[in-house]
Amino acid sequence: MRKKQAETIVVRKTIKKAHGSHGGSWKIAYADFMTAMMAFFLVMWLLSSSSPEQRVQIAEYFKVPLKNALAHGEKASLSDSIVPGGGDDALKQDGEVFKKTLQKLDAKKSENNLKRAREKLENLIEIDPRLNNFTSNLRLSLTDDGLLLQITDSADRPMFKVGRPTPENYMVNILQALVPVLNDMPNRIILTGHTDSLPYANGEQGYSNWELSSDRANASRRILASAGLASKKFIRVVGTADTMMQAGSDAGDPINRRISILVLSQQKEKQIMQEDVLLRDTLVAPTANQTPSTTAATQPKSGAVVAESPVVTSAPEEVK
């Protein structure tokens, strides 16, 4: 009998191999992506919440040349400004682009404020009974120096007593009505008195149109101050006599007798203040042989008026 053939048993074993480590590189890439998205949405939020002026300033900030920033303030610009750089061309001789941009923005803002002030005054003239009867005597105009308001005389309605600094009652009312609008504006003002060419009997040697225009300007200042106008509003109170005639008018035209209130623009106010600083810097220093007492005696006090002509105590007499 044949032997039974032995069966061959095949055992298959599956060996599971552990996967190799993928590392954390995908986490770094994902973190970079999320950081970029966060920065993107942050920039979008800033752009949507900032004004055009602020966006211009931010853009100019990043235009500062790198070498100037690394030099801790040393600049390649030829400007006198202490701010380094500030533009595409660091060698601009006219100054930094950033500074010019800010000046343009300030000038535009000041112009808009003066335009709104003009609209307020025009509305006030229409509705206020103290003003609407004198529309022909009130003139408003925007100039390079600011908003100019002129209160002029007419042949049948002078604003002051003839030849004297005493204001009429309606002139007092006009000035008092202007105070609220002037107080609402941050701008300072120049108050100027003007006269016509009609001379006084004593001519220029006695009480003249120079004194009259100055006295009328000061009388107007006192009325405005008593009505509540802040004292710091005034930067100058001057009299110009008959040196500044209205365009197209005769020397004796009553329209030349007027009080002008100039609401200064910010640029003009800065210019005036800079001129004042230059004048103070050019004062002559006391010499070595002068003592402090003699120096104080020979120099007028700040703000004092030096009289160059004899003082006339008699009442002014105007030639009719």
Q: What is the mean pLDDT of residues 247-276?
A: 87
Q: Are residues 247 and 176 in the same domain?
A: yes
- Lowest average pLDDT, out of 56-60, 78-82, 312-316, goes to 312-316
101 and 138 co-located in one domain = no
Mark which of 127, 159, 191 sits at the end of a domain: 127
Residue 133 dihedral angles phi and psi, to the nearest 5°? -85, 0
- Rounded CA-CA distance 270/264 in Å is 10
Confidence category of residue 300, pLDDT binned at 50, 70, 90:
very low
Q: Which residue has the higher pLDDT, 303 or 210?
A: 210
Predicted pLDDT of residue 252: 81
Number of domains the chain contains: 2
Of residues 280 and 185, the one with the higher pLDDT is 185
CB 114 within 8 A of CB 263: yes
- Confirm whether 265 is domain-assigned: yes
Mean pLDDT calculated for residue range 99-109 = 66
Q: Do 262 and 160 share a structural domain?
A: yes
Residues 141 and 269 both lie in one domain: yes
Based on the fold, state whether residues 253 and 233 are members of the same structural domain.
yes
Q: Are residues 270 and 137 in the same domain?
A: yes
End position of a domain, from candidates 64, 99, 127: 127
Quote the domain boundaries for residue 264: 131-280
Q: Say what the pLDDT of residue 46 is.
A: 83
154 and 206 co-located in one domain: yes
Task: Tell me the pLDDT tens digit for each residue of 61-90.
Answer: 776 655 555 555 544 444 445 444 444 444
The answer for residues whose C-beta is within 8 angstroms of residue 155's C-beta and 6 or more apart is 254
Identify the weakest region by mean pLDDT among 253-257, 267-271, 300-304.
300-304
pLDDT at position 49 is 86
264, 137: one domain: yes
pLDDT of residue 234: 93
pLDDT at 86: 47
pLDDT digits (tens, 9 = 90+) for 270-282: 888 888 777 776 6
- Band of pLDDT at residue 5, cut at 50, 70 and 90: low
Residue 240's nearest CA partner among 258, 214, 276 is 214
Is 13 among the domain residues?
Answer: no
How far is Cα 243 from Cα 248, in angstroms, rounded to an integer?
Answer: 14
Question: What are 294's two structure tokens?
Answer: 């003699």
Residues 105 and 207 in one domain: no
Tens digits of residue pLDDT in 37-46: 999 999 898 8
On whether both 271 and 148 belong to a single domain, the answer is yes
Question: Does residue 199 belong to any structural domain of this protein?
Answer: yes
In a domain, 14, yes or no: no
Residues 167 and 84 in one domain: no
Band (96; pLDDT cuts 50, 70, 90)? low
Task: Using DSSP, state whether 122 is helix, strand or coil.
Answer: helix
Asked if residue 34 is part of any domain, the answer here is: no
Is the residue at 107 inside a domain? Answer: yes
Whether 117 and 247 share a structural domain = no
Q: What is the mean pLDDT of the chain?
A: 77
pLDDT of residue 90: 47
Contacts (Cβ under 8 Å, ≥6 apart) of 114: 142, 146, 147, 187, 263, 265
Q: What pLDDT, on a 0 to 100 scale, did the predictor assign at position 213? A: 94
10 within a domain of the structure (yes/no): no
In the chain, pLDDT over 70 holds for what percent of residues? 68
The confidence score (pLDDT) of residue 57 equals 75
What pLDDT, on a 0 to 100 scale, did the predictor assign at position 47? 83
Domain-embedded: residue 249: yes
pLDDT beyond 70 at 112 = yes
- CB burial readout 72-88, b (16+ within 10 A) else e: eeebebebeeeebbbbe
If DSSP codes are grouped into helix, strand and coil, which group holds residue 106? helix
Q: Are strands 258-264 and 234-239 parallel, antiparallel or unpaired?
A: unpaired
- Residue spans of beta strands (DSSP E) within the chain: 138-142, 146-152, 189-194, 234-239, 258-264
Domain boundary among 87, 102, 127: 127
Higher pLDDT: 3 or 305? It is 3
CATH number of the domain that 136 lies in?
Answer: 3.30.1330.60
Alpha carbon distance 303, 275 (integer Å): 15
